[in-house]
Amino acid sequence: MRHLVNKIPKHYLVASAGWVSRVIIAVIRVIMIPLLIYYLGTQEFAVFVVITGLTVWFNLADCGFGSGIQNAISNLRIQKQSSVRFLQRILVYILLFLVIELIIFSLVAYPMQHFLFRKLHVHLLPYLLTVFGCLYIVNFFLSIGNRIFFAHHKGYLGYVYQTLGYAFGLLAVLSLYGLGITQHKLLYVLLAWILPQTLFSIVSFLHAVPLSGWIQHRNWQQFKDIFTTAWQFGVIAFSSVFALGIDYIVMSQVLSAETIVTYNVISNVFNFILFGYSAILMSLWPVFAEKFASNNAVKIAKVNKLIVRNIVIGVVYIIICSILVILFSPYITKLLSHGIITIPITLVCLFGTYYAARVFTDTYSVVLQSQNKIKIFLFAVPAQALVAVFSMYYLAKYFGLFGVVFSLILCFLTTVTWIFPLTHYMSLNKFKGR
């Protein structure tokens, strides 16, 4: 049996762990949504949705260090070198960077909270976003540990820690529900939900990195070398957030709480669907990085075949899942919202189109990033963000939810969906004739 397991490519094992993790997390979310709608009410649940929906922004916390470190470790593996000394040289500076981030966010969190929630007519504690924003920053910054696991083809460890964080978060929320707490319910729910995830992120980080030698082996030049690559990944991520994370900010300004809840429910369904494909991409990242680092034309040709095959499978998968969502939408809304919302077929079709575009684009995005070919991102992703910001505000204002999703489709099709594959295939000219 062990012999058979060893013959399975490692990226399939990592992807399988990701699928199992995502299924468990999805079940947890299915339990959480109706529970919190009942416990908090629609208005406070909308605040919960907006704060937790900001996770895509807090994902920026690692400032690209995760991707930069993962690619650096993949290159060390090609050279048959250990990553321990490399990590020891940069960890002190990485953690100092985290401290600076927390200080800066604490200074801007209060006016940010006022801007986000002034139209939802809910009384909030003034330090709410400060506390939970800092927890999320620590959580996502230290997820660098997960990228280290992926670089070593042990991404399943990151998935285990992530799943445990969600599981303990659910248990903590259920305990609040059982205790019958009536004061500051939103505060305690957010704390119960986010704190366990942050604690397990800390444990994951400490598992992934060497626990000694941080001070004596620190190397400022090594950190600067990583930062040179990381900041470019950070700019890409920041621009991507404007394209993919502007939705909740725009909706908090122009749409009702009930409409935000509808978007959150269907978005969670499709995010779960997409993760089935994203788990494969994340597990393939180090595989791509190592094959491109080899500069072997035969290996790179195999990568191109793998790209096409995965895109076809991914798009067909999204189409089938979209049809299933349409067929079972009455049961989905009853399960996730006690039937207080409806999901129009047109909205499902728009989401399906958007996520099919995501499958195509995300594949080439991972291919380019695995090679550190990120200059094109510094042009393409800000352009995508500009299209998203301007189109979403006006389309959401006049067409509601349909406008939000259509603007997401528009910002992909007009920019990165064709720019990324074009860049990749143009970069392969150097291998012709080999």
Q: What is the pLDDT of residues 190-222, one digit of tens each?
A: 889 999 999 999 999 999 988 787 888 888 998
> Residue 422 — very low, low, confident or very high, per pLDDT cuts 50/70/90?
very high
> Residue 344 — very low, low, confident or very high, per pLDDT cuts 50/70/90?
confident
Let me know if residue 3 belongs to a domain.
no
Query: Between 257 and 262, where is the model more confident?
Result: 262
User: Would you give the DSSP letter of residue 285?
Assistant: H
Q: Which range is most confident: 78-82, 155-159, 332-336, 415-419?
A: 415-419
Let me know if residue 215 belongs to a domain.
yes
Q: Residue 55: its pLDDT value, please?
A: 80
Q: What is the largest CA-CA distance in the chain?
A: 72
Residue 16 has, within 13 A of its CA and on its CB side, a CA count of: 7
Q: Which range is most confident: 83-92, 243-252, 350-359?
A: 350-359
> Residue 430 — very low, low, confident or very high, per pLDDT cuts 50/70/90?
low
Q: Residue 9: its pLDDT value, please?
A: 59
Worst-scoring range by mean pLDDT, 18-22, 242-246, 296-300? 242-246
pLDDT, the chain, mean: 83
- Judge whether residue 243 has pLDDT over 80: no
Per-residue three-class SS string for 119-163: CCCCCCCCCHHHHHHHHHHHHHHCCHHHHHHHHCCCHHHHHHHHH
Let me know if residue 133 belongs to a domain.
yes
Long-range contacts of 213-219 (CB under 8 A, 24+ apart): 213/85, 213/88, 214/88, 214/91, 214/92, 215/92, 217/85, 217/88, 217/89, 218/88, 218/89, 218/90, 218/91, 218/92, 218/93, 219/89, 219/90
CA distance 253 to 120: 8
Q: Residue 75: its pLDDT value, please?
A: 82
User: What is the gyration radius of the CA atoms in the chain, in angstroms?
Assistant: 22
User: Would you give the DSSP letter of residue 428?
Assistant: G
* Dihedral sign, Cα of residue 276, residue 279, residue 283, residue 285: positive
Question: Degrees (nearest 5) of the Cα angle 295, 375, 71?
Answer: 50
Q: Residue 189: its pLDDT value, please?
A: 87
> Residue 4 — very low, low, confident or very high, per pLDDT cuts 50/70/90?
very low
Q: Residue 162: its pLDDT value, please?
A: 92
Q: Residue 214: its pLDDT value, please?
A: 82
Mean pLDDT of all residues in 345-363: 94
Q: Residue 5: its pLDDT value, please?
A: 46
3-state secondary structure of 218: coil
- Judge whether residue 7 has pLDDT over 60: no
Domain span holding position 198? 8-428
Name the phi and psi angles at 54, rounded to 5: -75, 0
CA distance 141 to 421: 30
Let me know if residue 433 belongs to a domain.
no
Worst-scoring range by mean pLDDT, 1-10, 155-164, 377-386? 1-10
What distances in angstroms separate CA 268 from CA 75, 111, 149, 332, one per listed residue? 35, 28, 26, 11
**Nearest to residue 271, comparing CAs of 362, 153, 139?**
362
Query: Between 420 and 331, where is the model more confident?
Result: 420
- Judge whether residue 434 has pLDDT over 80: no
Q: Residue 409: its pLDDT value, please?
A: 94
Q: Given 3-state DSSP classes, what are the helix, strand and coil percentages for the chain, each rounded to the nearest 5? A: 85, 0, 15
Q: Give the alpha-carbon dihedral of 202, 209, 215, 98, to 10 degrees.
A: -40
Let me know if residue 74 belongs to a domain.
yes
213 backbone φψ class: left, alpha, beta (φ>0; ψ -120 to 50): left
Q: Residue 99: its pLDDT value, please?
A: 94
Q: Residue 167: its pLDDT value, please?
A: 94
- Domains identified in the chain, total number: 1
Q: Residue 165: its pLDDT value, please?
A: 94
pTM for the whole thing? Answer: 0.72
Let me know if residue 173 belongs to a domain.
yes
Joined together, the tokens standing for residue 278 give: 């994203």
What is the percent of the chain where pLDDT is above 70?
Answer: 92
> Residue 64 — very low, low, confident or very high, per pLDDT cuts 50/70/90?
confident
Q: Which residue stretches of 338-374 are H helix?
A: 345-370
Q: Residue 123: its pLDDT value, please?
A: 66
Let me know if residue 1 belongs to a domain.
no
Residue with tokens 């505060």: 187
Task: Specify whether the CB–CB gap between 330 and 379 falls below 8 A.
Answer: no
Amino acid at position 209, single letter? V
Give the length of the chain.
434
Query: Between 316 and 249, where is the model more confident?
Result: 316
> Residue 1 — very low, low, confident or very high, per pLDDT cuts 50/70/90?
very low
Condensed to tens digits (0 to 9), the pLDDT of residues 80-128 reads: 788 888 898 999 999 999 999 999 999 988 888 777 777 655 666 677 7
Q: Residue 251: its pLDDT value, please?
A: 80
Q: What is the DSSP annotation of 184-216?
A: SHHHHHHHHHHHHHHHHHHHHHHHHS-SS-TTT
Residue with tokens 């119960």: 192
Q: Which range is most confident: 222-236, 314-328, 374-388, 414-428?
A: 314-328
CA distance 372 to 305: 20
**Nearest to residue 93, comparing CAs of 211, 223, 210, 209?**
223
Let me know if residue 2 belongs to a domain.
no
Task: Specify whether the CB–CB gap between 164 and 24 falls below 8 A.
Answer: no
Q: Residue 359: its pLDDT value, please?
A: 95
Q: Residue 299: its pLDDT value, please?
A: 78
CA distance 17 to 23: 10
Mean pLDDT of all residues in 305-330: 92
